[in-house]
Amino acid sequence: MSFRLSRRKFLTTTATVTATAGAASAMGGFFMPSISRAADRPMITHGVQSGDVTANSACIWGRADRASRMITEIATTENFSRSVRIPHVDVLPERDFAGKLALNDLPAGQDVFYKIHFENLDDGRASSEPAIGHFRTAPAAKRNIRFGWSGDTAGQGWGIDEDRGGMKTYATITRHNPDFFIHSGDTIYADGPFAAEAKMPDGDIWKNITTEDTGKVAETIAEFRGNYKYNMLDKNVREFNRLIPVYYQWDDHEVTNNWYPGEMLRDDRYTEKSVSLLAARANRAFREMLPITEHASEPGRVYRKVSYGPSLDIFFLDMRTYRGANDANNSPEPNDKTVFLGREQIEWLKRSLLNSNATWKVIASDMPIGMVVGDGDNFENLANGDGAPAGREFDIVELLRFIKSARILNTVWLTADVHYTAAHYYDPNKAQFQDFEPFWEFVSGPLHAGTFGPNAMDNTFGPQVMFTKHPTKEQGINLPPSFGLQFFGLVDIDAENEQFRVSLRDVADEELYTVTLDPVYS
């Protein structure tokens, strides 16, 4: 559901809402219905979330334990002394009792607090306890901006071990109070069931919270939804979601490992072998369980642009939905088999970059450009090893050549996927294909999953590894989160000089690597 609210009304409304509250003034002007029988009261099951925030819009989310009415109030102060009540949303079994609301016509550069509760459809006096969330709309003028990014949540069987503090990287990020966060994909691991216990490389035992929906690979919509609900059982994730708006991408594990459209599985764990059918169910769960704005022209579309003030535009890619089959990836010229981003997405990205007036253009990619990622004897990523461009690399050739010829300045790529952190500088002077301007790519992750690496680098576009941190040979691979190799990145854009400072950090909040990029204006 979408709701429009005038800036004037939002900033000046006081009496109409607070007068209705009467004796409930202790709740910050929020009207709390009288509470009847406890058994009739809905419950908020998995916290609240916000996402896809722009200068004048946002998407908020909540879920109840039964069919009920989602009641929302928004304000510019945490005590809700000036607040507006939003038309309700009914949450029903068809969407697993999840409610999502698009807010429009919000004021730019404003802290917004929202309060959600659920009322029993049969008895409006039976109400849940309220939950309060927060987001900050994008600025209209230049100001300091801080945001984070990473990917890979609850992978390789490493789920929520409450004795080890749960998903602690989320708590570390929350303490930085970023304006927003980019989740670069692998938001769940639908193909990675959780056992009650998992043996770690040091012989200790990891103890997972387990649920019915995450006890097997996800095939039904309910099982895909269950993976999202599993992550929200973690207290760190719920608090992060409550306070920080997120822009979500997806990659492969939202469906199954290394998937592509049209694939037929040979995995005995699956009774449903059609990946396209699994992907359709997964996409629906992805949109129902996360605060993602719907695109009327293409329901389910993941790629999109967000403008975040004069200093920053973000272009979110989808390297999964439009690709051809994973193969040897060595065609000497573009053809139907080399498709990676898809023609419509490429043309959208070129138009969007060309029309961008922001100083910095961040391309949020769910996979790195220059790292080789295999899929058995085939290739999962676009990189295919050293040499001249071939196969899927032609999509990047087209984009990089366009960025240079159109004089699009200050592009930076942010990504995750490979379960370690790195900084790459792409230098045309050291590349096989050289018709592009140099640029940076920063890699982070995992948020909470097994740690791997390093991947081989492909010299086609000349990536220079400026920094990397990953497990040592002695440590091995698939290290659990308790080993401390969980990573995220922070970006700070200075309002005055518009410098772009990148900080790669770990779960303990140690700054591992930093670089400051100066903007180019002409």
Q: In the predicted model, what is the mean pLDDT of residues 168-182?
A: 98
Structure-block tokens of residue 86: 């939003």
- What SS3 state is found at 279? helix
Per-residue model confidence as pLDDT tens digits over 389-436 = 999 999 999 999 999 999 999 999 999 999 999 999 999 999 999 999
Q: In the predicted model, what is the mean pLDDT of residues 215-241?
A: 98
Q: Give me the pLDDT at residue 11, please.
A: 53
Q: In the predicted model, what is the mean pLDDT of residues 170-190?
A: 98
Handedness of CA 312, 62, 280, 229 (dihedral sign): positive
Structure-block tokens of residue 214: 């995450």
- What distance in Å separates the CA atoms of residue 437 and residue 458, rounded to the nearest whole number? 18
DSSP string, 152-197: -BS-TT----GGGTSSHHHHHHHTT--SEEEE-S--S-TT-PPPSE
Token pair 């410098």 is found at: 499
**Residue 259 CA: distances (Å) to CA of 28, 280, 319, 465:** 49, 12, 11, 28
CA 2 to mean position of chain CA atoms: 21
Q: Give me the pLDDT at residue 220, please.
A: 98
Q: Where are the beta strands (DSSP E) in 240-331?
A: 246-248, 304-307, 312-316
- What SS3 state is found at 412? strand
Q: Could you tell me the residue ranges of all domains in the chain?
A: 2-136, 145-517
User: In this structure, are residues 445 and 506 in contact, taking their beta carbons and an 8 Å threshold?
Assistant: no
Q: Give me the pLDDT at residue 297, please.
A: 82
pLDDT of 484 over the 90 cut: yes
Cβ neighbors of 376 (< 8 A, separation 6 or more) are none
- Of the pLDDT bands very low, low, confident and very high (cuts 50, 70, 90), residue 442 is very high
pLDDT of 10 over the 90 cut: no
Architecture of domain 2-136: Sandwich (2.60)
- Of the pLDDT bands very low, low, confident and very high (cuts 50, 70, 90), residue 295 is confident
- What distance in Å separates the CA atoms of residue 485 and residue 443, rounded to the nearest whole number? 14
Q: Give me the pLDDT at residue 248, please.
A: 98
- What distance in Å separates the CA atoms of residue 49 and residue 133, rounded to the nearest whole number? 7
Structure-block tokens of residue 12: 């000046």
Q: In the predicted model, what is the mean pLDDT of residues 224-237?
A: 98
Per-residue model confidence as pLDDT tens digits over 322-358 = 999 999 999 999 999 999 999 999 999 999 999 999 9
**Residue 112 CA: distances (Å) to CA of 132, 174, 293, 305:** 11, 17, 18, 22
Q: In the predicted model, what is the mean pLDDT of residues 248-275?
A: 98
Q: Where are the beta strands (DSSP E) in 21-122?
A: 44-51, 58-64, 68-75, 83-91, 98-104, 111-120
Q: In the predicted model, what is the mean pLDDT of residues 297-306?
A: 92
The number of beta carbons lying within 10 Å of the beta carbon of residue 143 is: 16
Percentage of the chain with pLDDT > 90?
89
Structure-block tokens of residue 334: 């573009």
Q: In the predicted model, what is the mean pLDDT of residues 485-508?
A: 98
DSSP string, 218-261: --SHHHHHHHHHHHTTSHHHHHHHHHS-EEE---STTTSTT--T
Percentage of the chain with pLDDT > 70?
93
Cβ neighbors of 139 (< 8 A, separation 6 or more) are 55, 108, 109, 145, 308, 309, 310
Handedness of CA 120, 125, 129, 134 (dihedral sign): positive
Q: Give me the pLDDT at residue 87, please.
A: 87
Q: Give me the pLDDT at residue 138, please.
A: 98
Q: In the predicted model, what is the mean pLDDT of residues 365-380?
A: 96
Per-residue model confidence as pLDDT tens digits over 29-68 = 333 334 445 678 999 999 999 999 999 999 999 999 999 9
Q: Give me the pLDDT at residue 24, please.
A: 28
Domain 145-517 sits in CATH 3.60.21.70? yes
Provide the residue type at 145 as one letter: I
Q: Give me the pLDDT at residue 4, please.
A: 56
Give me the chain's average pLDDT, please: 92
User: In this structure, are residues 421 and 466 in contact, taking their beta carbons and an 8 Å threshold?
Assistant: no
Q: In the predicted model, what is the mean pLDDT of residues 136-153?
A: 98
